Amino acid sequence: MHELGICDALLKMVRNIAKEEELTEISRVTVEVGSLSGVVPKYLSDCWVAVTDGTELQDVEFAVEELQGTAQCMDCDEVFPADADRLRCPNCGGAKLMPLTGRELTLKEILVP
**Interface stretch with Zn ion, choices 10-18, 54-62, 65-73, 98-106 (CB under 5 A):** 65-73
Q: Does 51 bind Zn ion (CB under 5 A)?
A: no
Strands (E) in the chain, as ranges, are: 28-34, 61-67, 69-73, 79-82, 97-101, 105-111
Among 29, 31, 73, 82, binds Zn ion (CB under 5 A): 73
**Interface stretch with Zn ion, choices 7-15, 51-59, 85-93, 98-106 (CB under 5 A):** 85-93
Q: Does 97 bind Zn ion (CB under 5 A)?
A: no
Binding interface with Zn ion (CB under 5 A): 73, 75-76, 78, 89, 91-92, 94
